[in-house]
């Protein structure tokens, strides 16, 4: 294995992570991908790969997590974006080709792509 023995590298990562972890968990961007059987079969894993690639390309630091089925199987893959101080937005039918526009308009420009939104949880009236 090439550099699989790089636990030293992990320790360095820890130092970096410790400094910004609180800040980001409290105020940062959180992206959640539905990963139940329905999501997986609809291509959620590839959607997540596309998300990670796009975030890396644009140097956006965001927490990406997966969850199980939330019961809206027909609209999978579902992607949920939460940003401190904004509404929580759920996008439906997010195939990998929809990812760049969502990242660009929602995360970079701060304007959700309304035509793909299937759910919205208002910050004011949760």
Contact footprint for other proteins (CB under 8 A):
1-7, 9-11, 13-14, 16-18, 21, 33, 35-38, 40-41, 44-46, 48-49, 52, 55-56, 61-71, 73
Closest CB to other proteins among residues 62, 113: 62
DSSP E strands, 5-125: 29-34, 63-67, 79-83, 88-91, 117-121
Closest CB to other proteins among residues 115, 118: 118
> What is the nearest approach in angstroms of other proteins to the Cβ of residue 118?
16
- How far apart are alpha carbons 62 and 29 in whole angstroms? 5
Closest CB to other proteins among residues 2, 126: 2
Cα distance from N-terminal residue to C-terminal residue, the chain: 49
> What is the nearest approach in angstroms of other proteins to the Cβ of residue 47?
10
- How far apart are alpha carbons 98 and 94 in whole angstroms? 6
């Amino acid at each position: 294995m090439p550099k699989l023995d790089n636990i030293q590298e992990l320790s360095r990562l820890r130092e970096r992570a410790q400094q910004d972890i609180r800040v980001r968990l409290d105020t940062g961007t959180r992206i959640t991908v539905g990963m139940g059987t329905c999501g997986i079969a609809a291509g959620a894993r590839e959607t997540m790969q596309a998300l990670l690639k796009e975030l890396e390309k644009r140097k956006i630091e965001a927490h990406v997590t997966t969850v199980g089925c939330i019961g809206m199987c027909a609209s999978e893959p579902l992607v949920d974006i939460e940003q401190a101080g904004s509404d929580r937005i759920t996008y439906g039918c997010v195939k990998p080709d929809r990812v760049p526009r969502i990242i660009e308009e929602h995360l970079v420009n701060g304007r959700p792509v309304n035509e793909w939104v299937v759910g919205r949880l208002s910050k004011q009236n949760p």
